[in-house]
Structure 1
């Protein structure tokens, strides 16, 4: 009897998981910066559209993709 190793997911699912991790990294990268050197000064850059509007969507998609990768059925070969 041949003992054949099989992976939990197929290649397509692993690619979706990696895409989710990349989206999370991009989302957190977009949120970086905007702080002030002096804590008593206010920097309005922390409320930029990039940090408040775009980055959360990247994070949401980055969290959603691994769920999708787990839930989609395996391709039958």
Structure 2
């Protein structure tokens, strides 16, 4: 009969604290981008609101979302155990 300690393996998380920190930063960028993208509608469908095409909704918000996705990719690919060669 085998001992239970021999059968168990050390369980580790896939990501470290540094990875999760970058993931939360990326999620914050994405959330802020979507919040900035919202709004600009009109209560009356017969009235056009030109604010829907302003800089914040067309340029700034999508840029923040893309930066957030880039940070997420970096957080996934980051290896915090890698040693620097100095």
TM-score band (shorter)? 0.7 to 0.9
Aligned length: 77
Unmatched 5+ stretches in structure 2? none
2:63 aligned residue = 57
The equivalent of 1:24 in structure 2 is: 30
**1:12 match:** 18
Q: TM-score, normalised by structure 2?
A: 0.79
- Report the Cα offset of residue 73 of structure 1: 2.3
Structure 1's unaligned 5+ residue stretches are: none
TM-score, normalised via structure 1 length: 0.87
Give RMSD over aligned pairs. Answer: 1.8
Which residue in 1 is equivalent to 2:76? 70
CA distance, structure 2, for counterparts of residue 76 and residue 43 of structure 1? 52
Q: Which has the larger radius of gyration?
A: 2
